[in-house]
Amino acid sequence: MKLFERFIIICLLSLFDVNIAFSENLNSDLRDYHKIKLPYSSNELKKYYYWGEHGLYLSPNMPFPLRFTNKEFSFKPKLFEYLTKTTFYFPHCYFYHKNILYKGIIQIAVGENNEKIFTFQLYSYDKNGNLMDAILLYKIQNGEISYWNDFVIKTDGRIVIKQHQKQNLFELDEDPKDKKVYTTEDKYQMSSSGIFNTIKD
């Protein structure tokens, strides 16, 4: 009986050590991010980039860049259309919602003609640190067509994304005064499993 009790105690201590190690790794990983409270919107991101003589630039006070894991790099976020990831990103923020960890990252992605595009992406992880899902919430790019997003993450886990675009290059038979901005809206819900589910109106 004593042998069995010792075995149980050893198992519990081992499990405790694993939990401590995971907790330390998680805390170590999150030290590069700052914790935020919801709601959180795209207005918070405008201070991290600016337009210069040769296009888009990141603010000089960006944190040290990190490399994606193989799984993160190969995972295509929702709404990440016509863009290419680089292998590194800038850690930005994190928060918890329904026991799921969400990490927001800033990245300069690559579009057509190798143009630089500022993006903000949100990744979700379960309690064991496994990647669950990802979504692109914000991008800004200028070219023949300008694209930019506005978003808000609400306290109930709802995400509203407004995608805007405006034509800048016109054919000879087109009216260059047409500066109309075309907007579409997408809505998502952060689920209890960390998946970004589309909300249908």
pLDDT tens digits in sequence order for the chain, 201 residues long: 554 454 444 443 444 443 433 333 445 579 999 999 999 999 999 999 998 887 788 999 899 999 999 999 999 999 998 899 999 999 999 999 999 999 999 999 988 778 889 999 999 999 999 999 999 999 998 877 788 999 999 999 999 999 999 887 766 666 655 678 899 999 999 999 999 999 987
Query: Same domain for 78 and 25?
Result: no
- How far is the C-alpha of 28 from the C-alpha of 60, rounded, in Å? 24
Q: Are residues 141 and 118 in the same domain?
A: yes
- Per DSSP, the three-state class of 195 is coil
- Domain tally, the chain: 2
Cβ pair 131, 123 in contact under 8 A: yes
Residue 134 sits in which domain range?
A: 36-198
The DSSP bridge partners found for residue 148 are: 140, 164
Domain match, 19 and 80 both: no
Claim to verify: residue 57 and residue 156 sit in the same structural domain: yes
| Same-domain check for residues 135 and 82 | yes
Token duo for residue 17: 């050590």
**Whether 123 and 190 share a structural domain:** yes
- 164 in the same domain as 88: yes
- The whole-angstrom separation of Cα 20 and Cα 107 is 31
> Which helix (H) or strand (E) covers residue 27, if one does?
helix 2-30
